[in-house]
Structure 1
Amino acid sequence: MTPEKSQDPPPSRRTVRSFVIRGGRQTAAQQRAMDELWPSYGVEFSEQPADLDRLFGRQAPRMLEIGFGAGEALLAFTQAHPELDCIGVEVHKPGVGHLLLGAEAAGLKNLRVICHDAVEVLQQQLAPGSIQLIHIFFPDPWHKKRHHKRRLIQPEFVELLARVLAVGGTLRLATDWEHYALQMREVIDASAAFANDAPETGFVARSEERPLTRFERRGQRLGHGVWDLSYTRVSSPSQ
């Protein structure tokens, strides 16, 4: 991987996306959430770095979850950590609506949501070193070989993660596809910006910070394995 530069690289044009916008139906409640709760929790995409202190009304460590799906893990984490400001990025509106309903029910004040492509959010909307913890749980594995180029965890994306994650911060990932787990490890281990928290085995036990979702419980019943990875953001040689 190319070492980090002292200045941010200009935003690159995205040619291969790791997601497909699905036309999933929103329930009436989810649509209400988008209509009524988005002004409280939603953050519109901007090409300018967000002022997170203003956005949350305080200074606090920040956590980012990319591709939160229905928001189960993000909601639980945000409730358990009122001392942290949490940001979720997801492109699928039904999942966003589901999370907003949960946030309203829990009365959360430390959660904000961006419904946009995570690549562009990392490139432009989040300032360098502004995040202390990143979660990426069960990204689409794109299991067919011809689709592997669509997988989220690629060298270019890891550079973007390193850009926004503060030195000393943590990157946590999980997948239930062994091949993808091995690729994640290979790609991130090759980055000078990250140190594997389990260098001998490459994988860690499931963190208690990651609750078991219905999706994962179903996988367990079917005998599917799950692989968790954890990395620490370190200073690269160019820093």
Structure 2
Amino acid sequence: MLSLLKPNQIHLIPSFVRREGRITPAQKKALEQLWPIYGLSLGAGYLDLTAIFSRQIPLILEIGFGNGESIAQQAYTTPEVNFLGIEVYRPGVGQLLAQLKAKELKNVRLINEDALKVLQYHLPDQSLDGAQIFFPDPWPKKRHHKRRLIQLPFIDLLWHKIKPNGWIHLATDWQDYAIQMMEALSQYKGFYNIAGQGQFIQNLGQRPITKFEHRGQRLGNLVWDLKFKRID
């Protein structure tokens, strides 16, 4: 593999700047009333995912779910799959909580923490059937590219957490970030490109199209999807 470091020894630059933003009354109410139902608080060790979800079925992690539109839709259409969502911005968490209640979903749990912290210290190795990261912050200025999440140390960390034959699905509307993602994943020998060497996949219903993406499409923005499978 890329590194002999254990996952909790990997040091990565934070890929976000914590800014709370405005929380609407509805989001605040959802956080107060629904977090005890859907939210997870982190203790000192690994999460007991079997106990949390009360059933052993495939588990998909979504990092940076934004307002939760994608993860809520997937959880609704595939009740035979559990979903774990990580997001640092509380307004988005509040908005997703309201969606979960409205759809009466029982197969989603949320964490309001830095994803790197969760992966390094709280998720057991080989506990995920898949991981998806849609439209992560592109940090467009060249001097900020070091803050981009999808880099080799992070890919190595994800490799440890995903089961054999599990997958990672990425999407971005920034072409140079898409190229960087492709180069990093292609360089890492623990994943292979299911679309073929250097090829992007066609979405074709593999993930929901969000309002953000629809808006971008109307403006003529292109989207690049990558899907890689884990191998030993």
TM bin, normalised by shorter chain, reads over 0.9
Q: SS of the residue aligned with 1:171?
A: strand
What is the Cα deviation at residue 97 of structure 1? 0.4
TM-score, normalising length from structure 1?
0.93
Deviations along 1:67-113, whole A, 9 cap, x unmatched? 00001110001111111111000000000000000000011111000
What is the Cα deviation at residue 133 of structure 1? 1.1
Which residue of the other structure, out of 25, 38, 43, is the alignment partner of 2:40? 43
Structure-1 separation of matches of 2:185 and 2:164: 15
Counterpart position of 1:105 = 102
Structure-1 separation of matches of 2:9 and 2:204: 33
Counterpart position of 1:213 = 210
Pair 1:186 & 2:155 matched: no
Indicate if the aligned counterparts of 1:66 and 1:88 stay in contact, CA closer than 8 A.
yes
Residues 65 and 101 of structure 1, relative CA distance in 2, 3 Å threshold: same
Residues 204 and 33 of structure 1, relative CA distance in 2, 3 Å threshold: same
Structure-2 separation of matches of 1:74 and 1:123: 22
What is the Cα deviation at residue 46 of structure 1? 3.1
Counterpart position of 1:33 = 30
In structure 2, what residue type is equivalent to 1:76? Q
Counterpart position of 1:138 = 135
Counterpart position of 1:123 = 120
Q: SS of the residue aligned with 1:98?
A: helix
**Number of residues paired by the alignment?**
232
Which residue of the other structure, out of 170, 173, 193, is the alignment partner of 2:170? 173
Which residue of the other structure, out of 81, 91, 100, is the alignment partner of 2:78? 81
Residues 159 and 111 of structure 1, relative CA distance in 2, 3 Å threshold: same
Pair 1:95 & 2:92 matched: yes
What is the Cα deviation at residue 45 of structure 1? 2.4
What is the alpha-carbon root mean square deviation over aligned residues? 1.4
In structure 2, what residue type is equivalent to 1:185? M
Structure-2 separation of matches of 1:234 and 1:67: 25
Runs of 4+ in 1 over 4 A off after TM superposition: none
In structure 2, what residue type is equivalent to 1:123? Q
What is the Cα deviation at residue 12 of structure 1? 4.2
What is the Cα deviation at residue 4 of structure 1? 5.5
Indicate if the aligned counterparts of 2:27 and 2:91 stay in contact, CA closer than 8 A.
yes
Q: Share of identical aligned residues, percent?
A: 46
Residues 159 and 207 of structure 1, relative CA distance in 2, 3 Å threshold: farther
Name stretches of at least 5 consecutive residues in structure 1 with no aligned partner. none
Name stretches of at least 5 consecutive residues in structure 2 with no aligned partner. none
For structure 1, which segment, 17-26 or 106-115, has the greater mean C-alpha deviation from structure 2 after superposition?
17-26
Q: SS of the residue aligned with 1:195?
A: strand
Deviations along 1:17-52, whole A, 9 cap, x unmatched? 100112311111101111110000000123411111
